[in-house]
Amino acid sequence: MLIDFSKMEEEAKPNFKGGEKEYNVKTFDDGTNKIMKGRLVPGASIGFHTHETDQEIIYFLEGEGTVVDASGNTVDTFNPGEVHYCAKNESHSLVNKGIEDLLFFAVVTKV
């Protein structure tokens, strides 16, 4: 199956998971898996949340920011081409710390 994000409408999700500003996303969802092309404007974030029934992989395409990991204390700065993994029952958040949009692909799979 080929998924063409260029033909999808971007949806704005204000204060997603308690985050700041808007999470802009194009989503493919088959009921078990979600594949998303996400965008956070400068200063936007996805709030700290737990993956109770699934896991998430985020591949960073453009921009710069930070991920707060499962402990809530460790902050990792990432670069384009790097991947963040959040396992089932772990928590994380994502923040655009840069001056340009943060673009990424995310895959959420039920476990």
| Per-domain boundaries in the chain | 12-110
pLDDT at 74 over 90: no
Q: What SS3 state is found at 49?
A: strand
In which residue are the tokens 């971007």 written? 10
Summarize the chain as % helix, strand, coil (round to 5): 5, 55, 40
Q: Is the pTM of this model over 0.85?
A: yes
pLDDT at 70 over 90: no
What's residue 104's pLDDT? 98
Spatial separation of the C-alpha atoms in residues 111 and 21, rounded to whole Å: 30
What's residue 14's pLDDT? 98
Query: What topology is assigned to 12-110 in CATH?
Result: Jelly Rolls (2.60.120)
Spatial separation of the C-alpha atoms in residues 46 and 95, rounded to whole Å: 7
